[in-house]
């Protein structure tokens, strides 16, 4: 992080008024100094690909902070994985190699176990309620606050990557059609929910998926809409369905705690205001807007032969098989990371989530995309 002391009326005037005012020193993310107005430049650790909704959320957050601070806060915006690999971003922010970061929350569950609640199958169907609940819990619930404090992180936002879809070589219209699939899927809770329905899960990497489909290593994927389009797996898999499992993983952004606390109280208030605005609606507004654009890739694909949402009765059959096991799997993960009283945290999250659920909240654009495909093709 780079810092300097400036004045809105010009550096020369500030120096003259101060006599011989020295530039502040920056050590361990904390700025010392005063008298004139400090300016701050913070470095981003970027784990979001260009063209994804996650990259745009991060860009618009930084734009909003720069604008709201009248230029007192600026960002050095690094390219994808230029500073830290995706699975190292949270660690880079924690230890001060970066001041702010964005990546998939499940890549570093040892630092961010409380955010993995987004991965509980069938729970997070209201995307705005999920985003705002995580924000409010990490603002107001002491154990969640303490977890981030111990990781030296300051919360910004967490948002779902999109509803879990199934892409396959043959139509998947019921839970009977799922049995026996060999699917690429990420995340232990998601994998357990798929296995409960008879899916053979293969945890290959995203980059290996296309070739694995070509070679017959797998015959299906369980993923979000942006994965289907951006990794071009629609070229291999013509049949797509939303089985109603809901959200399964998330992206997140965090400040390095020391970098955030180096700001003046006034600038911290500015940052807090932008953060609140994003969690109360703007994060999902941006993510959904970008996902609608990605949906166009699905609608335009000459390879996609079907894209639809399951009937509620079929979803309910899967829920009865897997919902309890998904919650148990998540509790086991929390125990592995020594989070005290995960059940109480889950109760707090669910209570907050239910208080924020509303039929007026936005619908996941990936789910809406299935309806658009049906309207266009039937």
Note the pLDDT of residue 106. 87
Query: Three-class SS of residue 25?
Result: coil
CA distance 287 to 44: 19
67-78 pLDDT tens trace: 999 999 999 999
For the four alpha carbons of 13, 19, 20 and 24, in that order, the dihedral sign comes to negative
All structural domains of the chain? 2-105+250-290 (3.40.190.170), 165-248+291-377 (3.40.190.170)
**Where are the extended beta strands (E) located within the chain?**
2-6, 26-27, 30-31, 37-46, 73-76, 100-104, 153-160, 165-168, 182-184, 200-202, 220-223, 239-242, 250-256, 306-309
Taking residues 1-24, report their average pLDDT. 39
**Residue 358, both tokens:** 């509303």
CA distance 177 to 326: 21
Taking residues 187-208, report their average pLDDT. 92
| Rg, Å, the chain Cα set | 22
Question: Could you tell me the pLDDT band of residue 6, with boundaries at 50, 70 and 90?
Answer: very low
**Residue 167, both tokens:** 């892409």
Number of residues in the chain? 378
Note the pLDDT of residue 271. 98
Query: Rounded mean pLDDT of the chain?
Result: 90
CA distance 362 to 344: 28
User: In the chain, what percentage of residues exceed pLDDT 90?
Assistant: 83
**Residue 260, both tokens:** 């955030």
Q: For the whole model, what pTM was predicted?
A: 0.87
361-376 pLDDT tens trace: 999 999 999 999 999 9
Q: 342-356 and 127-140 helices cross at what angle (nearest 10)?
A: 130
CA distance 223 to 366: 11
CA distance 285 to 270: 21
260-315 pLDDT tens trace: 999 999 999 999 999 999 999 999 999 999 999 999 999 999 999 999 999 999 99
CA distance 128 to 239: 28
Question: Could you tell me the pLDDT band of residue 3, with boundaries at 50, 70 and 90?
Answer: low
């Amino acid at each position: 992080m780079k810092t300097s002391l400036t004045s809105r009326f010009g550096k020369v005037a500030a120096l003259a008024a101060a006599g011989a005012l020295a530039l502040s020193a920056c050590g361990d993310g904390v700025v010392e100094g005063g008298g004139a107005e400090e300016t701050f430049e913070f470095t981003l650790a970027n784990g979001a690909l260009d063209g994804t909704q996650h990259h745009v959320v991060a860009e618009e957050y930084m734009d909003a902070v720069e604008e709201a601070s009248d230029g007192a806060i600026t960002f050095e915006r690094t390219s994808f994985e230029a500073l830290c690999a995706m699975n190292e971003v949270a660690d880079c922010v924690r230890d001060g190699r970066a001041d702010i970061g964005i990546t998939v929350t499940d890549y570093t569950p040892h630092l961010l176990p409380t955010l993995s609640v987004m991965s509980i199958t069938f729970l997070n169907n209201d995307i705005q309620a999920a985003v705002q609940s995580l924000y409010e819990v990490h603002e107001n619930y002491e154990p969640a606050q303490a977890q981030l404090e111990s990781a030296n992180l300051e919360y910004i936002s967490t948002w779902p990557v999109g509803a879990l879809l199934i892409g396959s070589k043959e139509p998947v219209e019921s839970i009977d059609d799922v049995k026996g699939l060999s699917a690429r899927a990420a995340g232990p809770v998601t994998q357990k929910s798929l296995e409960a329905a008879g899916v053979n899960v293969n945890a290959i990497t995203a980059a290996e998926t296309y070739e694995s489909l070509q070679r017959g290593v797998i015959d299906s994927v369980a993923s979000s809409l942006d994965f289907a389009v951006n990794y071009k797996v629609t070229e291999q898999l013509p049949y797509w369905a939303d089985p109603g499992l809901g959200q399964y993983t998330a992206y997140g952004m965090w400040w390095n705690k020391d970098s955030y606390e180096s700001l003046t109280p006034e600038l911290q208030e500015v940052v807090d205001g932008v953060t609140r605005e994003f969690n109360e609606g703007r994060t999902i507004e941006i993510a959904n807007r970008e996902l609608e654009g990605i949906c166009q890739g699905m609608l335009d694909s000459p390879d996609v032969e079907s894209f639809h949402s399951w009937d509620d009765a079929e979803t309910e059959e899967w829920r009865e098989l897997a919902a309890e096991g998904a919650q148990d799997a998540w509790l086991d993960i929390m125990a592995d990371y020594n989070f005290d009283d995960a059940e109480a945290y889950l109760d707090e999250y669910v209570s907050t989530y239910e208080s924020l659920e509303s039929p007026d909240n936005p619908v996941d654009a990936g789910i809406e995309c299935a309806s658009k495909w049906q309207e266009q093709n039937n």
